[in-house]
Amino acid sequence: MDKIWLKNYPANVKHEIDPNEYASLTDLLTRAFQHHGDSPFSVCMERWMTYRELDQLSQALGAWFQAQGLKPGDRVALMLPNIPQFAVTMAAILRAGYTCVNVNPLYTARELEHQLKDSGASAIVILENFAHTLAEVIEHTQIKHTVLASMGDLLGPVYGRWITFAVRHLAKMVPEFELPLGDHHKVTSFKDAIAAGRHLSFKTVPQTLDDIAFLQYTGGTTGLSKGAVLTHRNIVAAILQAETWFAPALERLPDLRKVNSIAALPLYHIFALTLCFLAIRQGSHLTLVPNPRDFAKFIETLKKRPFHMLPGVNTLFNALLQHPMFKSVDFSNLCLTQAGGMAASEGTARAWQAATGSAMIEGWGMSETCAIGTNNPVTRTSFSGNIGLPLPSIELAIKDDAGNSLPQGESGEICIRGPNVMVGYYKQEEETRKAFTPDGYMRTGDVGIMDEEGYFRIVDRKKDMIIVSGFNVFPSELENVISMCPGVIECAAIGIPDSMQGEVIKVFVVRSDSMLTEDAVARYCHDNLTGYKRPKYIEFRDELPKSNVGKILRRELRTNTH
């Protein structure tokens, strides 16, 4: 196809990338660790970790996993916030030849059980703060090895012990839990696994670009999340695409190893994960923010040292702008404000640029594309309102329902093809078949238009997905859960605009029990749904609008909701 967007690429941005530069993602990691050695990789609560330490710790943990009898390709779940243990564990899983399964630490027991069972994970590394959730479901999964991390494990012998004590006993952030012990399930502390691994032999596992690196779970239109199969090639391609695209923004910095990127977005999310790998490739470092919702501490972190890249979702930027301490932050070193995960609003973008001097650069991608798809040129000096141009080696087409490409200027489904696009959904052949067109493009579910300059704009969502603070929420999942609430006959969920979160959830409920209250439904949602999936509004109705075949018409509910 004619890539008309290439004419608008900034100078020196490559038109194509070649993932074959590396034998595998593990090859990229190993080379980066060796090359960057004493350079800092991360800082968390003012405790630093070098690339050499990341190399040694991940190899030790990888050796420990291998000694437990895990086989190449086995799935290992990772349920950690943005703390140093995340990168150590992720690198260990990949280097030891396994598949990494990222898990949202805020999952409810129901959500965690589905992901562990669906992935077939045989081991999990989890922060003890969330172990009570695992304890509820572990006997229904294939988990044989649990590695329990504590908040202070890698924050130094004195300060780390203090942090762990404070989290457990002062803040009381570790609910009581009891995990089964025996021949079929073993529990090991993170520290003990590292200590044992240092004395074990690490075995190099042959890997190729076509091996599976991640099962990245995404919302499912059937009500259950699906595992996007991301290969080593997919991740390497996304790293190289991001690197060449962001290069013009970092030109004024003579040494990329001095680049400080703020990691406030959760690393289990594909957006932050891809940027973490980019930092490793470049030898730059991350400032880890374990709890970005504590905006006072977040802003204090921003004030401590110059930072150059700040990725975020619209709600994060908006919340920072509203905080009274925000004006005390020095933004003079900020080279790139990268917005993604949800639509960026023009109001927030204008306020951000006025306050910081940095234009908000909006991009678009999905878990299925390693967060990479389109991005506005980082040389832009103002907010564009569109999602930008396809990145190097990516083809985008606007297609109709039959898979035919539509003429320029017509709206249709945005479809994507490139080396960063997943190979399919894990063990879901029919879902994979439906996700791709006959000519190899992946259907995204977004309706968009390409203009004469090759810029793309999203005009609607083909699917009924709701985006809450950058997180995808599918109504069918909510409806499946809420329909199980005693007293509920049927329900429908929609997203309604919200200035802070982009969208919030409203649920319409038909009840069989007139005594059922909004509070009772809200409590049921609290017990069964992650925070961002819980409805903000609940409305009871006598009936829901339906088509002549009985399908609930969410569109009509949206139209009549203000």
pLDDT digits (tens, 9 = 90+) for 295-320: 999 999 999 999 999 999 887 888 89
Looking at residues 218-224, what average pLDDT do you find? 59
Q: What's the confidence (pLDDT) of residue 220? A: 47
Q: What is the pLDDT of residues 402-414, one digit of tens each?
A: 889 998 889 889 9
Residue 462 pLDDT greater than 80, yes or no: no
The answer to whether the CB of 297 falls within 8 A of the CB of 291 is: yes
Q: What is the pLDDT of residue 330?
A: 97
Mean pLDDT of 232-257: 96
> Which pairing describes strands 40-44 and 47-50: parallel, antiparallel, or unpaired?
antiparallel
Q: Residue holding tokens 């649920």? A: 507
Q: What is the pLDDT of residue 222?
A: 45
pLDDT for 551: 66
Is pLDDT at 287 greater than 60 in this prediction? yes
Mean pLDDT of 148-174: 97
Q: Please state the rounded mean pLDDT for residues 178-188.
A: 92
Mean of per-residue pLDDT scores for the chain = 93
Q: What pLDDT, on a 0 to 100 scale, did the predictor assign at position 391?
A: 98
Q: How far is CA 494 from the centre of its chain?
A: 22
> Is the predicted pLDDT of residue 476 greater than 80, yes or no?
no
Average pLDDT over residues 161-180: 96
Q: Is the pLDDT of residue 221 over 70?
A: no
pLDDT for position 340: 87
Model confidence at 562, pLDDT cuts 50, 70, 90, reads low
CA distance 354 to 532: 30
Residue type, 116: L
What pLDDT is attached to residue 411?
Answer: 87
| CB environment 157-195: b (16+ within 10 A), e (fewer) | eeebeebbeebbeeeeebeebebeeeeeebebebbebbe
**Percent of the chain at pLDDT above 90?**
80
pLDDT attached to residue 430? 95
Residue 450 has pLDDT above 80, yes or no: yes
Q: Which domains does the chain have, with CATH numbers?
A: 25-207 (3.40.50.980), 248-461 (3.40.50.12780), 466-559 (3.30.300.30)
Looking at residue 213, its pLDDT comes to 98
- Mean pLDDT along residues 311-335: 92
Question: What is the per-residue pLDDT for 324?
Answer: 93
What pLDDT does residue 553 have? 82
CA dist., res. 89 & res. 100, Å (int):
9
**In the predicted model, what is the mean pLDDT of residues 4-27?**
97
Identify the CA nearest to 526 among candidates 517, 536, 539: 536
Q: Which string of DSSP letters, residue by residue, matches 496-558?
A: EEETTTEEEEEEEEEES-TT--HHHHHHHHHHHS-GGGS-SEEEE-S---B-TTS-B-HHHHH
With cut-offs at 50, 70 and 90, classify the pLDDT of residue 183: confident
Residue 434 has a pLDDT of: 94
Q: Which one is predicted more confidently, 546 or 540?
A: 540
Give mean pLDDT, residues 92-101. Answer: 98
Q: Which residues contact 396 (CB under 8 A, 6 or more apart)?
A: 373, 374, 390, 414, 415, 416, 417, 450, 456
The average pLDDT across 207-224 equals 82
**Least confident segment among 167-176, 369-378, 453-462:** 453-462
Q: What is the per-residue pLDDT for 68?
A: 97
pTM: 0.88
Sign of the alpha-carbon dihedral angle for 491, 492, 497, 501: positive
